[in-house]
Structure 1
Amino acid sequence: MHSLGFEPNEITYGSVLSACTAFQVPIFGKQVYSLAMKNGFFSNGYVRAGMIDLFSKNCSFEDALRVFHDVFCENVVCWNAIISGAVKNGENRVALDLFHEMCCGSFLPNSYTFSSILGACAALEELDVGKGVQGWVIKCGAGDVFVETAIVDLYAKCGLMGEAVEEFLQMPIRNVVSWTTVISGFVQTDDSTCALKFFKDMRELGVEINNYTVTSVVTACAKLAMIEEAIQVHSWILKAGFYSDAAVGAALINMYSKIGEFDLSMLVFKDVGSLKNPVVWVAMISASAQNQNPGEALEIFRKMLQESLRLDKFCISSLLSVIGCLNLGRQIHCYTLKTGLVSDVSVGSALLTTYSKSGSLEESHKVFEQILERDNVSWASMIAGFAEHGCADQAIKLFGEMLLEEIVPDQMTLTATLTACSALRSLQKGKEIHGYALRIGVGKDVVVGGALVTMYSKCGTLELAKSVFDMLPQKDQVARSSLISGYAQNGYIEKALMLFFDMLMADLAIDSFTVSSVLGAIALLNRSDIGTQMHALIAKMGLDSDISVGSSLVTMYSKCGSIEECRKAFDQIEKPDLIGWTAMIVSYAQHGKGTEALRLYDLMRKEGIKPDSVTFVGVLSACSHNGLVEEAYIHLNSMAKDHGIEPGYRHYACMIDLLGRSGRLKEAESFINDIPIKPDALVWGTLLAACKVHGDIELGKLAAKKVMELEPCDAGAYVSFSNICADVGQWEEVLKIRSLMKGTGVKKEPGWSFV
């Protein structure tokens, strides 16, 4: 038409732009739009609406906004296009702002506007705004089946299923979308019974059923207690002819996986995997990962590549979210580089999270820097990765960079940054972030509030922690547990126990983190009677096999002196992790049962658990109690050689203690002189204690001198050296040491006893 010299009009341009949208060719659309502007259709609403729609549907919402704001819009079609585009791109706040701007002008919204803006209210759970829009709909008489369905969806998304059903029953005309909205709402509120009842009514009335309805019903059956209903729905799907739909097949795979029937997931995959749809294959990968079968997940991924199935950004993100294998993550990373998906924000965020979870922070940060347009999720994921893997200072630095780029952090980002402040015990930074959270209106958010309580507790500022806790409109488990933990760790044992007692009296849910915090408080209190009562409550709640609770029980009984109960608590743990094994090894060592500690260490290694530095403190301490000098040297050398752990002061102090107990004081002195780090007061103090036992006054004098240089206010060093001199009758030296203590202002704390 163009080459023949016919002049296109606004209808022509609008239709061609719609074709560009359908074929997802924004480059050609830009050329058409340029021609339209050149030919004088720059301000035409129909043409501009087509271009806005093109950009919105091709993930270029900023360009869509630019087109919209180029000229003052006098056409409701343009307003509808930009508001609808904002909702489809997840920019729901922008949609509300545009709607407000539209209403302040001389433009009246129509049913298309109302259905879009109600969708934004539903996504944001802005019930009050949504009710206002509903009132306007009633006043204008603009309610059609689409608007009324959007109102039902609003109430459903806000968890008000009673109101949603009431609106649904008042609809004069109901279509498959409105029925599916109600069923989906019941699924989201975990009411599977009502979801299935509405599905039954829908079938009895002969209403059309589509694949969205079916996937919602299948999701409703994804519960352990609903295996019979799941099989019945599966049979109906076969009969109704939905089995060949990829989304339905994926939902069935996921359903059987969640109810613990992985074999049935595999059977469904064998039936529908031939569809060659990536959604089905990714669902099977997810099911394999959820059922602790990473090998199967890797095999399916390889088959996908062999079948030349192209994974889109949604499939890649889903795949990365369920894998825990670094090797597989790297392979997928290579695939994203090859296909150009690595710069997509959702793929990049999933990739950097995978690397962070595996402890590969350098690779994680490289991926982060490759993301072209970072959103809150990517920033929060990277900050959380740094915070959780011992790089809290980098996390806070990254948060500063985020603010410099004028990106407003959300609750997830603030929580991750506060976690970093907690790790650094940085009260000043924590207060600054608290102030920022209050300024942007999320200071009283439940999640942020819990993180603030934790931060103030870790920094030892219990008054501020309690103030934040008291101001929270909703006090969840995290906030309560954080405050209990803060009280316990800072010596306010009674307050910790009283807060826990209040939780019990209020019949609030108690999780393993709360229980572990309380057990820590009881251990510090050294009250085995309260510990036994707590253990009984834990058994009643069914938490005694939990890893964190079991480990805390081990430590509590150890601190209370009951090593037999300590071992019983350890044996109750279903699958001990490194912390649990280490707690038991250290407990044995502290109670002088070195043989048992070393035997348990060997058993831990056979279970494939890799030791950490704390484990080796227990192992070396066990060697010390048993006088196993040569074996201790073997374990010390094994730390760096076999496990990549550099020994620290506590490990060297254990070795000095062992050599001292064995009377090998000269060897201990040589050992101190040979260690690669500068000996601290702990190392020299351990040697000083050994010198006192064996009466080595010369070496004791050297050790005491070193301790006094490193910690001049340590009264123990003065007293120990004074006692050594007294034991050999050097009373003049004793008087000199006492005089030196007075001159430096060091005072010996008086001894006391419960007896």
Structure 2
Amino acid sequence: MNSLLNPKFHSKISLSSLKFVSSHAVVRNPSFLPNENHQTPGFDSFPFFNDYAKSSQCTIRNTRILHAHLLRIDLLQSNVSIANSLIDCYCRSAAMADALHLFDLIPKRNVISWNFMVSGYNQCSLFEKSLEFFCRMHYSGFEPDEFTYGSVLSACTVLQTPTFGKQVYSLATKNGFFSNDYVRSGMIELFAKTSSFEDALRVFHDVSCQNVVIWNAVISGAVRNGENRVALHLFCQMCRGFLLPNSFTFSSVLTACAALGEIGIGKEVQGWVIKLGAEDVFVGTNIVDLYAKCGKMNEAVKEFSRMTTHNVVSWTAIISGFVGEHDSISALKFFREMRKMGEEINKFTVTSILTACTKASMTEEAIQIHSLIIKSGLYSAAVVGSALISAYSKIGAVDLSERVFREMGAVKDLGTWAAIISSFAQNQNHERAIGVFQRMLQESARPDKFSTSSVLSIIDCLNVGRQIHSYTLKVGLAFDASVGSSLSTMYSKCDSLEESYKAFQQIRDKDNVSWASMIAGFSEHGFADQALQLYREIQYKEIIPDQMTLAAILNACSASRSLLIGKEIHGYALRAGVGRDVVVGGAIVNMYSKCIALESARRVFDMLPQKGEVACSSLVSGYCQNGCIVEALLLFRYMLMADLTIDSFTISSILGVIALLNNSSIGTQMHAHITKIGLNSDVSVGSSLVRMYSKCGIIEDCRKAFDQIEKPDLICWTTMIVSYAQHGKGAEALRVYELLKEQGIRPDSVTFVAVLSACSHNGLVEEAYFYFNSMASDYGIKPGYRHYACMVDILGRSGRLKEAERFIVNMPIEPNGLIWGTLLAACVIHGDVELGKLAAKKIMELKPREASTYVSLSNMCADLGLWEEVEKIRNQMKGNCLRKEPGWSLV
């Protein structure tokens, strides 16, 4: 600023005098201020204006007093430097109208006059005015200098107008400021903050540079745009160029290391910081943040303790670190210490500590922090309200989430709407989530991708889903990866796989979530081959499958029993370094288990450093399905000792094994454990308990287990009917069927097999005819072979063999071996040789190699003393090279 002022004048005016001088006093007593009679050579106006501009006395009122006096002694018209200094004073006191008025009165303006106005508008956040004034300057024929260009580029950065910035930079280049560091740093910052980092790099590489500010601009720009590897590479180049970094450089580089988890490089940078003595509160905070984000909380606490000065950012960094490590207790401890030290909290501190209070047991802490937020005035920040809504939602206090949402009033932003929709969705309140989404549309809030994805996640109605799909197409959200994936999943959940695939294809930039969702959709609907085809397509894209995608592909291999492809994915996962990841490892164990490669499954399981619930339950299920009873029970015992979460799927598998053992004592112990962990009311577990007690012959406990189920589904009811039927309690079985209908549950074909079986075991012929006819007339279920076989069995057990024969002859479908075999068994019981021969003949035509038919017919003839027929049948067996398999018993 020395170069801006003309050191010709001398005055007795002082800053303290201005404090007491009014405009009236200036007129009456001009001796306090310079006038035409006090202009002496050697007067230096710079110290006065410099001190005045930086002091608290630089107000609009005092500047106007000074302005009036300078007009009176006629210094403004004769000296442009003093006029420029007065403009600067007006700009510093935010009196831009006065500054503009004075500017327009200067007869001989120079570039400094224009610069003060452009930078003044920037200081007052009137960035549009800054650009307008620059255009006026350009049209007036004034040549801007580097300070002009720098100020204008700063305004373009704030206004996010890279196009205008490019025009300004082109003009600067044309006027010879191509290599000016001030201009280049402004342009790099503009590109970096408008997501044009490639252009920022191009500007940086245009001219070699030894200016730390330029290097800092491009490194921080790389970090801002997520190009953290590029930031570290630039830092290495800077160091190789023998240019010493400063604290700003270190802050950016440490941020990059934290984002990449590069703890080794971060420690090297920290060593350099100590060596150069460049550690200030900002660098110290970044070091703490580095250790915290890399999960090294002991080191983070140590570095935090070493810092001589703490600010809100450093406190927030250490608190966020503990939150990231799910250590809510330590996070709250440091938060209390921060409050005790009198440090002011900000919205970032609050959102971090609220994330720590998302357990059901921490409702009281969440409410206390809520009170603190109200007291500290942070409630006006929309992000804080969103964090409160999310915290209450995760602890199950949806009513409090909704209350916060209502209290926010006009403060709500799109993030707040998304938070409340997500809250309702997480707590399975479908109607209210959809209602809030509709309200957004009514209030012209225009749901964003987060709100839309959240509401799509809970929609199970195809009609509603299509309406929201129409909205996403209208506003262009359907092509977004997250929304497109949610649409695809929604259609898959509604069993509309074709529309699911169309939504997937509409996504422009498919990410791992998109691919994983579609692969899972194909697998769940029995199209494992199409799922694997998608995996082959991924290989031609520039996408590296993550853990979730690999798990989805492995599940597709499990569904299709594709062991060879599963082994390929296993090899890829090992090469990618994720083969021992909890999610991927569990999927690999599941794949080998489903493909009946139990040895491989066990080998992978034993190699996993952290054995998750999926891996354990998958292997237990594999053992159970393949009859490895001892191995299944031992692994289940390991899960109990390791305190792993045991889900209903694992429990059901183990109960199936216990049923095979026919050991009621183990079953009773298992039932006690199920009750202890609160799964006795679960539908799948309850059905397995009913089946287990039924196999063990304890029908009373079977009914008790059924009664404990909170909301029995069709499978549970059917299992209970089958249990009664197998134990000869036909009347009870039919009563259960009637209760099923009273609950409004629609029976299926399997249920009717159970009902007819109950009639068969108890000789209820007329009731059987009633239920058989009810299948088609009341429920539109077409009888199958098992239903016809049940009817034949009922008639056969009742001795109504001729009626059974007529029933078979009049069947609308061709009788199979099961039906004729049922009739043959009835003939054996009642000794009807002729009809038995007919049934045996039909079976031999359908199954000529079935030895049991010959044996049954032979035994029937032997019981009636027809030994010639017995000999004849035995000779037929020998002639057909058939032999009876020897019987065996476990007893």
Q: Tell me the TM-score normalized by structure 2.
A: 0.73
Give matches, 1:648-687, under 5 Å. Answer: 654=790, 657=793, 663=800, 664-670=803-809, 673-674=812-813, 682=818, 685-686=821-822
1:361 to 497, 507, 516: 497
Between 601-610 and 520-529, report the one with greater CA deviation: 601-610
Q: How big is the shift at 1:495?
A: 1.4
Amino acid at match of 1:99: L
After superposition, the Cα gap between the structure-2 partners of 1:193 and 1:466, relative to the gap in structure 1 and judged at 3 Å, is: closer
Q: Is the 8 A contact 1:659 1:668 kept in 2?
A: no
1:236 to 372, 389, 392: 372
Between 217-226 and 609-618, report the one with greater CA deviation: 609-618
CA distance in 2, matches of 1:144, 1:401: 51
Give matches, 1:285-434, under 5 Å. Answer: 285-321=421-457, 323=459, 326-434=462-570
Q: How big is the shift at 1:187?
A: 3.1
- Aligned partner of residue 674 in structure 1, secondary structure: coil
Q: How big is the shift at 1:249?
A: 1.9
CA distance in 2, matches of 1:451, 1:629: 47
CA distance in 1, matches of 2:819, 2:180: 83
Q: How big is the shift at 1:379?
A: 0.4
CA distance in 1, matches of 2:711, 2:393: 22
Q: How big is the shift at 1:161?
A: 3.1
The aligned residue for residue 582 of structure 2 is 446
After superposition, the Cα gap between the structure-2 partners of 1:476 and 1:220, relative to the gap in structure 1 and judged at 3 Å, is: closer
The aligned residue for residue 103 of structure 1 is 236
The aligned residue for residue 207 of structure 1 is 343
What do residues 24-67 of structure 1 show as CA deviations (whole Å, max 9, x unaligned)?
55676777788899999999998888777767666677x66996
1:558 to 686, 689, 694: 694
Q: Is the 8 A contact 1:640 1:647 kept in 2?
A: no
After superposition, the Cα gap between the structure-2 partners of 1:466 and 1:232, relative to the gap in structure 1 and judged at 3 Å, is: closer
After superposition, the Cα gap between the structure-2 partners of 1:505 and 1:310, relative to the gap in structure 1 and judged at 3 Å, is: closer
CA distance in 1, matches of 2:195, 2:869: 83
Between 680-689 and 227-236, report the one with greater CA deviation: 680-689
Q: How big is the shift at 1:371?
A: 0.2
After superposition, the Cα gap between the structure-2 partners of 1:391 and 1:139, relative to the gap in structure 1 and judged at 3 Å, is: farther
After superposition, the Cα gap between the structure-2 partners of 1:77 and 1:335, relative to the gap in structure 1 and judged at 3 Å, is: farther
CA distance in 2, matches of 1:23, 1:55: 12
CA distance in 1, matches of 2:398, 2:537: 45
Q: How big is the shift at 1:544?
A: 2.5
Q: How big is the shift at 1:375?
A: 0.7
Work out the number of aligned pairs and report it.
742
CA distance in 1, matches of 2:853, 2:316: 77
Say yes or no: does 1:252 pair with 2:388.
Answer: yes
Q: How big is the shift at 1:72?
A: 10
The aligned residue for residue 271 of structure 1 is 407
Give matches, 1:80-229, under 5 Å. Answer: 95-96=228-229, 99-100=232-233, 103=236, 106=240, 111-112=247-248, 114-116=250-252, 118-123=254-259, 125=261, 127-128=263-264, 130-139=266-275, 141-229=277-365
Give matches, 1:42-61, under 5 Å. Answer: none
- Aligned partner of residue 445 in structure 2, secondary structure: coil
1:468 to 581, 604, 610: 604
Say yes or no: does 1:534 pair with 2:670.
Answer: yes
Q: How big is the shift at 1:193?
A: 3.7
The percentage of counterpart residues that share the same residue type is: 63
After superposition, the Cα gap between the structure-2 partners of 1:82 and 1:466, relative to the gap in structure 1 and judged at 3 Å, is: farther
What do residues 388-407 of structure 1 show as CA deviations (whole Å, max 9, x unaligned)?
23222221121111123242
What do residues 676-718 of structure 1 show as CA deviations (whole Å, max 9, x unaligned)?
xxx7655665555455556423541354135416xx4x54444
Q: How big is the shift at 1:567?
A: 1.9
- Aligned partner of residue 304 in structure 1, secondary structure: helix
What do residues 564-598 of structure 1 show as CA deviations (whole Å, max 9, x unaligned)?
21221222233344544444344334434444445
Between 571-580 and 336-345, report the one with greater CA deviation: 571-580
Q: How big is the shift at 1:306?
A: 0.8
Say yes or no: does 1:522 pair with 2:658.
Answer: yes
Q: How big is the shift at 1:520?
A: 2.2
The aligned residue for residue 112 of structure 2 is none
What do residues 62-120 of structure 1 show as CA deviations (whole Å, max 9, x unaligned)?
x669969997987887876776666556x6xx633762576378367665555455445
What 5-or-longer segments of structure 1 have no aligned partner?
none
Q: Is the 8 A contact 1:450 1:478 kept in 2?
A: yes
Q: How big is the shift at 1:454?
A: 1.2
Q: Is the 8 A contact 2:228 2:259 kept in 1?
A: no
The aligned residue for residue 629 of structure 1 is 768
The aligned residue for residue 95 of structure 2 is none
Q: Is the 8 A contact 2:425 2:454 kept in 1?
A: no
What 5-or-longer segments of structure 2 have no aligned partner?
1-133
CA distance in 2, matches of 1:660, 1:67: 91
Between 472-481 and 454-463, report the one with greater CA deviation: 472-481
Amino acid at match of 1:458: K
Q: How big is the shift at 1:163?
A: 2.8
The aligned residue for residue 18 of structure 2 is none
CA distance in 1, matches of 2:439, 2:380: 20
Q: Is the 8 A contact 1:17 1:29 kept in 2?
A: yes
The aligned residue for residue 705 of structure 1 is 844
Amino acid at match of 2:545: P
- Aligned partner of residue 433 in structure 2, secondary structure: helix
- Aligned partner of residue 379 in structure 2, secondary structure: coil
Q: How big is the shift at 1:661?
A: 5.1
Q: Tell me the TM-score normalized by structure 1.
A: 0.85
After superposition, the Cα gap between the structure-2 partners of 1:182 and 1:420, relative to the gap in structure 1 and judged at 3 Å, is: same
**Highest CA radius of gyration, 1 or 2?**
2
Amino acid at match of 2:361: A
CA distance in 2, matches of 1:49, 1:585: 80
CA distance in 1, matches of 2:746, 2:142: 77
- Aligned partner of residue 243 in structure 1, secondary structure: helix
Q: Is the 8 A contact 2:554 2:566 kept in 1?
A: yes
Higher RCO (CA 8 Å, separation ≥ 6 residues) = 1
After superposition, the Cα gap between the structure-2 partners of 1:265 and 1:380, relative to the gap in structure 1 and judged at 3 Å, is: same
Q: Is the 8 A contact 1:526 1:560 kept in 2?
A: yes
Q: Is the 8 A contact 2:222 2:230 kept in 1?
A: no
Q: How big is the shift at 1:719?
A: 3.5
After superposition, the Cα gap between the structure-2 partners of 1:671 and 1:632, relative to the gap in structure 1 and judged at 3 Å, is: farther
After superposition, the Cα gap between the structure-2 partners of 1:672 and 1:202, relative to the gap in structure 1 and judged at 3 Å, is: same
Amino acid at match of 1:347: V
CA distance in 1, matches of 2:256, 2:782: 55
Say yes or no: does 1:544 pair with 2:680.
Answer: yes
Amino acid at match of 2:433: A
Q: Is the 8 A contact 1:273 1:281 kept in 2?
A: no
CA distance in 2, matches of 1:565, 1:188: 47
CA distance in 2, matches of 1:130, 1:638: 76
